[in-house]
Amino acid sequence: MTDLNSFSIQVVYAQPDSVWDVTVRLWPGATAAQALEASHFASDFPNYPGAAVLMGIYGQVCTPEHVLVDGDRLEIYRPLTFDPTESRQRRALHRQAFMTKSKHRPKRRKAKAAAGILDP
């Protein structure tokens, strides 16, 4: 028998090769930290990398004190293995190194004319 005051949420942890998914029944006012504890994530993943668990609701990062509502999907995020800014800088350098278009090609007159920049 289920309590009428309780609600269910989904706790999800995506690994590179599989997805861990648990449905948990909670009471109104339950927080993300309480849902994480009720899902037994710590016992199922004792070697989780990182000191603090990063969580979110449908892709939006949340704090452990975030109050959950019926139907939420609590996502547990893996720590980043690379620095995003460093990765963007490497891609920019790569594009510059292999740029095939001439830097001295004539400007596009049609685009300027459409924007009203060209003098008649």
Give the per-residue pLDDT at 1.
43
- pTM score > 0.75 for this model? no
The residue extents of the domains of the chain are 1-120
- Say which CATH topology domain 1-120 has: Ubiquitin-like (UB roll) (3.10.20)
Structural contact between residues 21 and 52, judged by C-beta atoms closer than 8 angstroms: no
Structural contact between residues 36 and 74, judged by C-beta atoms closer than 8 angstroms: yes
**Structure tokens, 35:** 């849902």
pLDDT band at 95 (very low <50, low <70, confident <90, very high): confident
Span 78-83, mean pLDDT?
79
Phi, psi of 5 (to 5 degrees): -85, -10
Q: Which residues contact 65 (CB under 8 A, 6 or more apart)?
A: 31, 32, 33
Q: Which residues contact 97 (CB under 8 A, 6 or more apart)?
A: none
